[in-house]
Amino acid sequence: MKRFILRVIMLLVFLFTASCGPASSEGTPSVSPAAYIENKGSDTMVNLALGWAERYQSEQPEVRISVTGGGSGTGIASLINGTVDIANASRKIKEEEIDEAKSNGIEPVEHIVARDAIAVIVNPANPVSELTLKQLSDIYSGKYSNWTEVGGDDRPIVRLSRETNSGTHVYFLETVLRLGNSDDKTLFSMDTLLLPSSEGIIAELRQNPNAIGYDGLGYVPKDLKVIAIAKDADGSYVLPSIATVNDKSYPIARDLYMYTDGEPTGIIKEYLDWILSPEAQEIVAELGFVPVGDQ
């Protein structure tokens, strides 16, 4: 009987403590976060966005930031539908997306928050080390299907790409396959393997010496081989880096964006202002991207 009474007393104490919530050092109940930011979009940017969110929350504990990926298209669609505060995108928003947003009463405003180089990657066993943009276009469009056509071994070329919802996919299509020509309608070869993530491309490249892929420079591990790229056959072959993005010698580089509904105010403005600060841009460089302050 005494044991039963003791258990009842302990249960009552627990329920009372739980209902009061944890107390601060001054003896007052803890306070819930005063601000919440929903941030969604580009998988290329997700690690960067998480790095920013973690640092900012450690300095501003009253703010909570939710970061999820899904692709640039997903982030922009969420902005259009009014379900996110900030949409991340590794490509510019399209005119038709702007029109759709405006029809929903949303005014997309663009913020360039970092820069990125898209690295072309192969298995270390592949002897090819240099390619021109035209050769890359011919590989991914299916004109070239054997590595001997670009100076490699007699092996079939296995093409790897991100899925169509990815901003990286769209950028690579427009800049590499179509060589920046807006009138060009070249498409990826039908046998291109569309993978949902950077991790999927990396895993396939590690096990397949015939494969070629592309990814944001910040996601490329040291055990894979990065191809030097030339704008044309007479140009210099250049590897991607912060320096070659800034001096514009590496030809497959882009801006990374955050989009808001109208000019940001309040906590959203404070967060975006911080993202452009030297402290936040240091995180950009640490993760293999290019700070926007570097010209």
Confidence of residue 294 (pLDDT cuts 50, 70, 90): low
Residues near 185 by beta carbon (within 8 Å), at least 6 away in sequence: 178
What does the pLDDT average to over 82-105? Answer: 97
* pLDDT greater than 50 at residue 121: yes
Contact of 196 with 168, CB cutoff 8 Å: no
- Mapping DSSP to helix (H, G, I), strand (E, B) and coil, where does residue 226 land? strand
pLDDT of 289 higher than 60? yes
Number of residues assigned to the chain: 295
pLDDT at 7 over 60: no
> What global pTM score does this model have?
0.80
Tell me the chain's radius of gyration from C-alpha atoms.
24
So what's the pLDDT on residue 34?
Answer: 66
Q: What is the pLDDT of residues 260-279, one digit of tens each?
A: 999 999 999 999 999 999 99
Q: What is the model's pLDDT at position 163?
A: 92
